[in-house]
Chain A
Amino acid sequence: MPLFENGQIMENGWQTAQEGVALPEGDVLVPLSRLAEGLGRNGAGRLGVVLEPADRVESLREALPRLDLVCVTFGSFRDGRAFSQARALREHLHYTGALRAAGHILPDQYEFLLRCGVSQVEIPQGSDPAFWQAAHTRFTVAYQPSVLDEKPEGTGLRRWLLS
């Protein structure tokens, strides 16, 4: 499925680990349960981890400097735990690498994802990229601080969203 990042559609060059199959060569995303295996892998290729909503972000603390991608997931767009996971990765663990959101997500949530620190989304099957593009420019201000540390607008807690 295509990725959407900074207003661009991009190819997803990452492979996802298949259950019961040895990790492939190249850039690979592993579940938390196979993190050690991924870290021990020989050869070239980058490593990423997929967090399920119930996974604790804290368990990535040590491995984080060696990861190139973390992917938070939405089983349903109504389950907002991934927002907190993304924000915690940025705020508590000071993670600065690529942060992806995947699963059942709506363009209407795009701004929330960005403001929780997500940098790229896997656009779900059948979702029109134009909606994602539109969602990105819909609002010009927000009413609360976020991990993006947007420029304060002046009165109260408001921030400018588009610089």
Chain B
Amino acid sequence: MPKLLQSTLPVGRYAYDEVDRAFLAQRVEQFRDQVARRLSGALSEDEFKPLRLMNGLYLQLHAYMLRVAIPYGTVSAVQMRTLAHIARRYDRGYGHFTTRQNIQFNWIKLEDTPEILDVLADAQMHAIQTSGNCIRNVTSDQFAGAAQDEVLDPRVHAEILRQWSTLHPEFTFLPRKFKIAISGSAQDRVAARFHDVGLIARQSEQGRPVFEVIVGGGLGRTPIVGVSLRDDLPEEDLIAYLEAVLRVYNEYGRRDNMYKARIKILVQALGREAFLEKVNAEFAAMDRSRYRLPAEVVEAIRARFGAPAFETLPDGAESLAAQCRADREFAAWVSTNTHPHKQSGYCSLTVSCKPAGGIPGDATADQMDLLADLADQYSFGELRITHMQNVVLGHVRQDQLYALWQVLQANGLGTANVGLLTDIIACPGLDYCSLANARSIPIAQKLSARFADNTLQQEIGQLRLNISGCINACGHHHAGNIGILGVDKRGEEAFQITLGGSTGDDASVGQIIGSAMSEDETVDAIARIIDTYLVRRNPGERFIETCRRLGAAPFKDAAYATV
């Protein structure tokens, strides 16, 4: 096989070779055959369902939904254009970025799916294991390979885990889905403590990575912060140890009640010590050499990742500051939407997919094409989807930010709200989802419009507001500093408010403050909660910190104060 030139490798993601392409083609053929068997009746719907789910195909309220995997959230400009094409050709002209760094198309026809999978395969993409009771798409840090505080780029190991988990013979029919996130920075941006397994990598003295392994976190009906099993897992045992964790889960996880089937329930039931004992017993008994991950294999995978060809630039902070002084709108955007880069003269940039009054996470085909063009022009052809449902350009020159911002502004993508109140996460809710109690999108839009004023948002500062349409918590409401949960109140759509959730190293689960209210009452109640914070906060105190210091009582009083 001819060796690929470094420059032809896609930046930030693994480049397929002939073998990978052949595998994907075989997989699409398999699905085509399954669809045919379903249509002929050889497969019952009951039997077909898990097979289509393992290809990312859900049946929703009005149509099929196809969830396409974006491993560790990284896509190339070429792939983004493919997604735009799918949105145009097979959907209604838009797609929806998810909290697990994937993209969903909400209006898909079953007959079209094999063809869509072909189109995806041509762009080295697939929908494998984006649903079903298997190991799901592995997520990672949206600032991977760029962040100043990063120890190592977690995407190489995320890719190794993607490959290892792909059609895993033993773990494709687990008690329930299994989600892994991996961070290469001590600053946890992947919500490692809210995953079935969260991995936090650091560098050992020997120069190879070691991992902290956190297990049993999750949201859903039973939100739980994961427990740390060990913080010294050597790289070469990464796969062996995960095999051990999954074997214990596959054997002992509950299968009698789907709401109690996640690994978090098993870890809670056994307790950390007993769970760890079982994992260690399996780890000791297994044929470790078979599952060893040698440094050569890691390096072989790494060699298939493209790296950005940075230019040697002086730090651009000063001239950027001058541009900011001249243009206050630009300054606001820079302060919220950029992130420090390890390479001098560069920064990472988050493009907000949450304009005032918009639908969080939706992007039109035209916007996707534009983002692809901008990635080519400004960021080595690489984009990342974030679990906050935004898009990151990882490696942008500081001296090109202003020009880039103007293009974004002109196309409705220049909103300066990353990390602020209107950077809302919302699940699809009753507009799409058959399990929903309430619509998540309209209340998100109302809140987004209510707090659109950028000066006000900047004044309020860092705040995470998350909305789920039901207890399944796809919108991570209990991980939000403020959470909104859709409930059914005597047949009416209503909302409960939770306070105090957080995802980072200080992970905590938000608590419900009181009884449910209507959509408009909820929006007003949140405005009063914010007012209370503004009045009661100490200088420099973030919303979550004030919440923790004061407890829920004053906020609860404000929320239910009748005017």
Contact = CB atoms under 8 A, between A and B. Distances in A.
Interface stretch (A14-22, A41-49, A133-141): A133-141
A108 interface: yes
A4 interface: no
B26 A108 contact: no
Contacts of A11: none
B173 A78 contact: yes
A54 to B, nearest CB: 9
Interface string A75-93: 0011111011001100110
Interface stretch (A23-31, A64-72, A95-103, A149-157): A149-157
B25 to A, nearest CB: 10
Given A80-B174, A92-B285, A143 B166 contact: yes
B540 interface: no
Interface stretch (B87-95, B247-255, B357-365): B247-255
Contacts of B26: 138-140
A128 to B, nearest CB: 7
Contact of A80 (B166, B172, B285): B172
A140 B24 CA distance: 11
Given A108-B30, A140-B23, A155 B291 contact: no
A155 B173 contact: no
Contacts of A87: 169-170, 247
Q: How large is the interface on A (under 10, 10 to 19, 20 to 34, 35 or more residues)?
A: 35 or more
Interface of B: 17, 19, 22-23, 26-27, 29-30, 33-34, 37, 42, 47, 50-51, 133, 160, 163-174, 239, 247, 250-251, 255, 285-287, 290-291, 293, 297, 300-301, 304
Nearest to A155: B300
A141 B23 contact: yes
Most chain A CB within a 10 A radius of its CB, from B19, B164, B300: B19
Q: Secondary structure of the B side of the interface?
A: helix
A155 B172 CA distance: 23
26 contacts: A77-B47, A77-B50, A78-B173, A81-B255, A83-B171, A87-B169, A108-B51, A111-B167, A112-B167, A113-B169, A116-B169, A131-B42, A138-B26, A138-B29, A139-B167, A142-B169, A143-B164, A144-B168, A145-B291, A146-B169, A153-B19, A155-B304, A156-B297, A156-B301, A157-B160, A157-B164
A19 to B, nearest CB: 24
Given A78-B173, A140-B22, A142-B167, A84 B247 contact: yes
Given A139-B26, A144-B163, A155 B287 contact: no
A60 interface: no
Contact of B19 (A92, A141, A146): A141
B170 A156 contact: no
Given A108-B34, A145-B291, A156-B300, A83 B23 contact: no
A106 B23 CA distance: 21
Nearest to B170: A83
A106 B293 CA distance: 32
A80 B300 contact: no
Contacts of B27: 139
A112 B171 CA distance: 9
Contacts of B33: 134
A138 B30 contact: yes
Going nearest first, the 7 A-B pairs with the smallest beta carbon separation are A80-B173, A115-B169, A112-B169, A143-B163, A83-B170, A143-B166, A144-B164
Contacts of A106: 47, 51
B169 A111 contact: yes
